[in-house]
Chain A
Amino acid sequence: MESTLDIFVKAIFSENMIFAYFLGMCSYLAVSKTVKTAVGLGLAVIFVLTVTVPVNYLLENYVLKQGALTWIDPKYAELDLSFLAFIMFIAVVASMVQLVEMLVEKFAPALYGALGIFLPLIAVNCSILGGALFMQERQYSTILDATAFSLGSGIGWFIAIVAIAAIREKLRYSNVPGPLRGLGITFIVTGLMGIAFMSFMGIKYGEEVAEESAPTETSASDQTPENN
């Protein structure tokens, strides 16, 4: 199965939240006008993702899914609360964002002012809830995997938004036709960046190399203790 490192690297490059799954587009488009705000929001997203996904992982595995509550009492083995997942996940996310908001206001008031409404909007940023939902769907088996996934996704999102912000700053000096200016050209450039990121699909992950070099005849007898 995939190693933790594979999950981490995949989340940054070939399964990038923005380029492969389009999560977090709204704030991505709105806050990428300057690199400074992009960096600020990107860091906030990394933080929120890396904290909320593991917490939601614990919720999913110890409260929500079928048989999760057996640590309280074995008779709960049939109980399946996973239909409450959406509500609980978003509650965790909303509280975390509230916390981040308070921290940023206290320690980086200038950034707080620059980000404005977009900080509380991280709560409804698809990438945060999406991260939790992907974690649930892929059923990562350890909390380390879930954390690697969320940290990687956050970093991937960060790279995407800083890159597009840098490009947009330069684009302002180009001669973009009227109707395409601003939003339109950003979409197209993001599409092109997405195509570029697809090249990462070719990365060969660790274990597949080992599989191919095992010869047939001996491996069949590897399994049985007696050799014929």
Chain B
Amino acid sequence: MSTEKVSKEPLFSKKNKKLITDPVTDNNPITIQVLGICSALAITVQVSQAVVMSLSVLFVMIMGNLIISLLRHMIPSRIRIIVQLLIVASLVIVVDQVLAAFLPDLSAKLSVFVGLIITNCIIMGRLEAFAMGNKPWPSILDGFGNAIGYGVILIIVAVFRELLGSGTLMGYPLLGDSITGTGLYSIGYMNNNLMILPPMALIIVGIIIWVQRSRNKELIEEH
């Protein structure tokens, strides 16, 4: 490195803050970078699933970015990708084991998708693009920001699907009880069961992208 000044950057400087806020909107991993779609669609039937998944990804991203950043000067470039993969896979195993031991019902619902965090392109993408070349603290922030950006989309989609599809949020019936016919159901409202089925997740994300691009004209594709 050339004439690098050894001045310490404040922990939450403007540059560092951007690491957190960018991925939530303008550089959102799901809707802009088009990464991590698979789990975003499958785990959004209920808000509780989306929350647990987002927290798991948050843990893996922060720890992953931190570990790789700490080791970045030591990792031989030939086995770079394998090392990243090993670290991520191990972190996911930790998450999976802890879930199976302490939150068994949720673990059963998430089933294979916890394992699929390994192939979540966001994680590998950020490790390679950021953590390999940056200091630990910014790497932590970058991991945090991207995980939040991912979580926000997941939860938005889950809120729509759970509310419109089952009439509940986090398990609490908000619109009344559909079986006994109280609340909104007494005037003939029925749950939109299509929301619970996989295709609707795709359509909802499509709409979110529509909204995002309408607000930020620069993101519109040529064709």
Contacts and interface: CB of A to CB of B under 8 A. Distances in A.
A and B touching (Cβ–Cβ under 8 A): yes
A151 to B, nearest CB: 19
Given A90-B89, A125-B119, A24 B38 contact: yes
A168 to B, nearest CB: 10
A166 interface: no
A121 B209 CA distance: 24
A177 B205 CA distance: 16
B116 interface: yes
B93 A134 contact: no
B209 A26 contact: no
| Secondary structure call for the B interface | helix
Contacts of A19: 198-199
Given A25-B37, A178-B213, A188-B207, 13 more contacts: A21-B42, A22-B42, A22-B201, A26-B38, A87-B93, A94-B85, A124-B118, A126-B39, A133-B115, A179-B211, A184-B206, A191-B201, A195-B194
Interface string B29-41: 0010011111101
A98 B61 CA distance: 26
A199 B93 CA distance: 36
Contacts of B11: none
A26 B37 CA distance: 6
Nearest to A85: B115
Nearest to B124: A124
Main secondary structure of the interface of A (DSSP, over half): helix
11 contacts: A26-B35, A26-B37, A86-B89, A86-B92, A133-B112, A133-B115, A177-B210, A179-B220, A188-B203, A190-B202, A193-B199
Contacts of B39: 22, 126
Given A22-B41, A179-B210, A182-B221, A195 B199 contact: yes
Interface string A171-191: 010000111111111111011
A94 B79 CA distance: 12
Contacts of B200: 191
Interface in A193-211: 193-195, 198
Interface of B: 31, 34-39, 41-42, 81-82, 85-86, 89-90, 92-93, 96-97, 111-112, 115-116, 118-121, 124, 194, 197-203, 205-207, 209-214, 217, 219-223
Given A19-B198, A29-B34, A181-B221, A187 B121 contact: no
Contacts of A180: 206, 209-210, 213
A191 B93 contact: no
Given A22-B38, A25-B38, A29-B37, A185 B206 contact: yes
Nearest to B205: A187
Nearest to A196: B199
B116 A130 contact: yes
List of 3 A-B pairs having minimum Cβ-Cβ separation, nearest first:
A187-B206, A194-B199, A191-B202
Contacts of B82: 94
Interface in A127-153: 128-130, 133-134, 137
Nearest to A33: B223
Interface in A1-33: 19-26, 29-30
